[in-house]
Chains A and B, each alone.
Chain A
Amino acid sequence: MYETIPADELKTVGRKSPRVDAYEKLTGHAPYVSDMVVSGMLYAAVKQSPHARARIRSIDTSRARELPGVRAVVTGAELDYRVGLYVVDKGILARDEVRHFGEAVAAVAADTLMIAQQAVRLIEVDYELLDPVLHPLKALEKDAPLVHPRLGDYSYMEAAFTPVPGTNIANHTKIRKGDVEKAFAEAEWIIERQYTNPSVQHVPMETHVAIVRWQPNDEVTIWSSAQSPFTLRNLFCTAMKLPHRNVRVIVPYVGGGFGGKAGIGIEPLVAVLSRLSGGRAVKLTASREQEFSLLPCRSQLTYRIKTGVSADGRITGQHMTMYWDSGAYADYAVNVTRASAYSAAGPYEIPNAWVDAYTIYTNKPFGTAYRGFGHVEFHWGIERHMDLVAKVIGMDPVEFRRRNTLKAGCRSLTGELIRENTGSVDKCLDAVCASINYGSLTKQEKERQKRTGMKIGKGVACFHKAPAMPPFTATAVILKMNEDGTVTANLALTDYGQGSYTAIGQIIAERLGFAVEKVKVAFDCDTDREPYDWQTVASKGLILSGNAAILAAEDLLARAYDVASQALRCNQIDLAHDGEKIYVKHHPESAVTFRQMAVGFAYPNGNGIGGPLIGVGRYIAQGLSHLDKATGQGNPALDWTYGAHGMIVEVNEKTGEYNILKVGSAFDVGKVVNPDSVRGQAIGGMMQGLGTAVCEGYIYDEAGHLLNPSFTDNKIPTSVDMPLEIECMVVETAQIDGPYGARGVGEHPMIGVAAALGNCLQQATEAEITHMPMRFEDVWRAIQKREPVDNWITKSPYGSCKSSPQVQGHHPELGC
């Protein structure tokens, strides 16, 4: 929409504009759910399983119930509900069996948090330990214990997913394009390797928190630190069998989400506690430790890639197998699997492709959406693999990429035609190569090597991602003119930090021709007041809500013009407007102000016309389709955002210690709406990607206990961990159906960072690293070519870290 307006004619879009939420946040006034108290409120605490898998023989809650101040105690046996986003596989509390360490087995609501916690300690659970299944590949073995023996009885979203009852497979997505076997037979090279990464935590600085009041008349109010109020309401109503009109979800300011708050979390549990307490509001705030095991994480991935390459360095065929470790419940992991399957090759043309992507249940905390939705994990594999292939065939890794990038005329894995306006991978790649002076060392870099004795390596990684969403995803914006001619926008896309409201405000101001100060985008999403939005996920917010905002502005203007044409007694076509008024083009002094029309225009004699000016914008994704279940062919992508990272790293070849000297990142964002917001997403995402690449990861012992559920042993990057230099670049290939040509960039900066680092390390030291995170010790092991110790940390096969260079390449002549 409006992609063709020249940048210099835009007054607000594309220009610097302060964040709309800055004052509230900078002064500490912005209310988060964690700050809120509701009258009569009780506090909840949760009893969690210390075991990965166990039968619950009995739960004795009698001592907890006797504690003064305890108002409700609940166990799974009393709760006959199932919840689930795509596969309805989860109870509100564990029933009969616990399926992961940290799973909720009982909960208490009490007058104070201290009493609630005390009561939880008094609950006694008698467990019969069962052998857990912890590794996804083990879970696929014939005699593996079943995490969900009754998988066949569960309902699930049939258009998108394929569970396999009698196994631990929660979903199997297939993509079939061309003839891979033939391509392999004709290939000059075939190169195969496997890449892995552990589960990680999102770590929003505000932990999950919800307050729920379930009144005895079944009217429910939920205040939640959640990303998607409508999806939360929908899933809640479905699980609780309540009419949607009865349930109101309110989302005020949210202290970060990154996907971890996208669906439904602790709300149903808090709700049943409220109902059992006679309708008093109940608040549950997850502790930091609970974030790691009570709440979901990002899935572990094992990714096997086999690539056929022609003599001139073109990928002719690729076989890709993804084993997504869902943990105990399917949640978003099945859709992560699906979305990753159709993007699995990265931004490259693969004429013959075969993808099998499995979501596999194990007895671990479950996986959910996390910024990048699978793409961070599988791009680790793909982009390390691109470097491996280039090395094996003796070609420069950037040159090899250039030969294979998606270009206009190519077809994606699902058969979608890539066009000029889809965006340009090549421009991003060129930009980052220039940024890091790829291919050689500068004089300063050479001097630096001499001075430090460290080896400098340069590497790149490309990436792509489309929003993973139903093909018919919809949203709406309502724009209301206030009495003074300012406007207030209501929408249920939430802004939990990413800056969407600032951008939407700019888009509205641009379309209305108003100063941006006249536009308010209202915080506190309330499903009773805001129009529908599917979810705040997938980097689809700016495109869909931005378009709805344009349509709402159009609608408001149309109504205003209607009133003005009557008030000014002229044809609408002869009218024009500025930020204050609508006027007659050929008699500019004949005008009516927006203020005069805002709540209805009154003639001097008191007669009124028009009524309050309200614009409604509805937008639904267009032209998308389900994927064919047998072949994966179809059109799933609203838009593709392409990008690349270039990185410069210095490595101590003896110890594996390294420093990141520079990261240059480029994204084809279509159109920059707010340069500072884009940069904020770019750098914030890149640093989150570095966390994943450098230090983060769940570590388990052989019994499935999570060994590092806190910041003490699960580090996240600090300011000192920033690269020495950061460069953010944008390419603007307008998205024809994007608002002013824009497309999403919220998730993308995180994708590919780890692979770029791995590629740098390899370039500098020949270290073949196939597992992330890359801690100093991993690098050291890889450089030393030490025995690949499976999970050297825990001495169990299920820990977080290993480095196992298993290159399998063969060449007819060289025989390597």
Chain B
Amino acid sequence: MRKIRLRINGDLYERDVRESKTLLHFLREDVGLTGTKEGCGAGECGACTVFMNGETVNSCLVLAVEADGADLQTIEGETAEDGSLSAVQQAFARHHAVQCGFCTPGMIMTVKDLLQRKPKPTREEVIHGIESNFCRCTGYQQIVEAVLDVTGQLPDSEKEGLKYV
């Protein structure tokens, strides 16, 4: 066991943690922030994506002890104080970019990071930007549209979506 101090979504935490515990399990089990999900535990799926010191990481591949002193942001910190959804979350809702929802927290972290690095990503850049996160349900298209819509770049021709023939 080792004592760590860190900030999560602005709140300070001080905990004793097993050296072998991953940051993902620390967040979910020790801190009770279960919004961050485990899809593989091996760095492949992106479901566990969180911000650590301003960069996204796969929290399944970080030891909690490595986060000593770090500043983290998880999905739980994405909504405003009053519980209202962020622009990214609202766009996801508008575009049905959520189905089972299991990839969603990690996906939102990834999108947020992408938009911080590239405030107006092209469609191509959005597609490459979310490559790190598996979504088995949506087929990604509505997620891409949601991201383009956040930045006001979704062409009107694509807003209707379904075509009736």
Contacts and interface: CB of A to CB of B under 8 A. Distances in A.
Direct A–B contact in complex, judged by CB atoms less than 8 Å apart:
yes
Interface of A: 18-19, 21-32, 34-35, 203-207, 253-258, 287-288, 427, 430-431, 496-499, 666, 672, 675-680, 682-688, 710-712, 716, 718-720, 722, 726-732
Given A27-B85, A728-B161, A728-B162, A255 B100 contact: yes
Given A27-B78, A205-B47, A682-B162, 18 more contacts: A19-B96, A24-B101, A27-B35, A203-B136, A205-B135, A255-B101, A256-B137, A288-B40, A288-B41, A666-B165, A710-B42, A710-B44, A711-B44, A716-B134, A716-B136, A720-B131, A726-B141, A728-B161
A21 B99 CA distance: 9
B36 A687 contact: no
A722 B100 contact: no
Which 10 pairs from chain A and chain B are nearest by CB?
Answer: A28-B35, A25-B101, A497-B100, A255-B102, A687-B139, A497-B99, A28-B75, A35-B34, A711-B44, A683-B139
Contact of B44 (A204, A253, A685, A712): A712
Given A28-B34, A28-B74, A730 B96 contact: no
A767 B163 CA distance: 33
Interface stretch (B61-69, B86-94, B148-156): B86-94
Contact of A730 (B33, B92, B165): B165
Nearest to B164: A730
A169 B129 CA distance: 48
A288 B136 CA distance: 14
Contact of B161 (A496, A676, A731): A676
Contacts of A258: 136
Given A684-B137, A716-B136, A498 B99 contact: yes
Given A497-B137, A710-B40, A722-B140, A28 B105 contact: yes
B98 interface: yes
Interface string B117-148: 00000000011101111111111111110000
Most buried by A among B85, B108, B139, B143: B139
A234 B79 CA distance: 41
A688 B74 CA distance: 28
Nearest to B135: A205
A718 B126 CA distance: 12
20 contacts: A18-B96, A26-B98, A34-B38, A205-B39, A206-B39, A206-B100, A253-B101, A256-B100, A497-B137, A499-B99, A677-B96, A684-B137, A711-B44, A716-B134, A718-B134, A719-B133, A719-B140, A726-B141, A729-B164, A732-B164
Contact of B142 (A24, A25, A680, A727): A680
Contact of B144 (A497, A676, A719): A719
Contacts, number: 194
Interface in B21-42: 28, 33-42
A255 B164 contact: no
B41 A287 contact: yes
A676 B162 CA distance: 7
B7 interface: no
A732 B103 CA distance: 32
B58 interface: no
A675 B100 contact: no
B45 interface: yes
B100 A729 contact: no
B102 A256 contact: yes
A518 to B, nearest CB: 19
B164 to A, nearest CB: 6
A496 B100 CA distance: 5
A27 B136 contact: no
B132 to A, nearest CB: 8
B65 to A, nearest CB: 16
Most buried by A among B85, B94, B95, B102: B102
Contacts of A29: 35
B104 interface: yes
Q: Chain B interface secondary structure, helix, strand, loop or mixed?
A: loop
Given A28-B35, A205-B47, A730 B139 contact: no
Given A688-B139, A710-B42, A18 B94 contact: yes
B29 to A, nearest CB: 8
A683 B130 contact: no
Given A680-B96, A710-B42, A730 B162 contact: yes
A28 B165 CA distance: 38
A205 B139 CA distance: 13
B55 interface: no
A256 B165 contact: no
A722 B37 contact: no
Contact of A684 (B34, B99, B130, B132): B99
B16 interface: no
A712 B42 contact: yes
Given A497-B99, A499-B99, A204 B165 contact: no
B76 interface: yes
B157 to A, nearest CB: 12
Contacts of B36: 28
Given A26-B92, A28-B74, A205-B135, A676 B142 contact: yes
Most buried by B among A255, A716, A728: A255
Contact of A720 (B40, B98, B128, B137): B128
A556 B49 CA distance: 46
Contacts of B92: 22, 26
Contacts of A684: 99, 136-139
A60 to B, nearest CB: 27
B141 A205 contact: no
A586 to B, nearest CB: 40
Contacts of A686: 139
B99 A34 contact: no
Given A28-B35, A258-B136, A666-B165, A497 B127 contact: no
A677 B138 CA distance: 10
A51 to B, nearest CB: 24
A620 B28 CA distance: 42
Contacts of A31: 34
A722 B127 contact: yes
B100 A711 contact: no
Most buried by B among A26, A257, A431, A679: A26
B165 A431 contact: yes
Contacts of B144: 719, 722
Contacts of B39: 205-207, 288
A27 B93 contact: no
A688 B136 contact: yes
B163 to A, nearest CB: 5
A115 to B, nearest CB: 13
Nearest to A22: B93
Most buried by A among B100, B135, B141, B161: B100
Most buried by B among A672, A678, A687: A687
Contact of A254 (B76, B100, B140): B100
Contacts of A32: 37, 102
Contacts of A30: 101
A200 to B, nearest CB: 12
A498 B142 CA distance: 14
A255 B138 CA distance: 12
B163 A730 contact: yes
A24 B44 CA distance: 25
A23 B96 contact: no
Contacts of B28: 35
A204 B136 contact: yes
A314 to B, nearest CB: 27
Given A683-B142, A711-B45, A676 B102 contact: no
Contact of A25 (B47, B83, B98, B130): B98
Nearest to A722: B140
Given A676-B96, A711-B40, A716-B136, A497 B101 contact: yes
Contacts of A253: 100-101
Most buried by A among B47, B98, B101: B101
Given A22-B93, A206-B100, A256-B100, A675 B138 contact: no
Given A288-B41, A716-B136, A728 B163 contact: yes
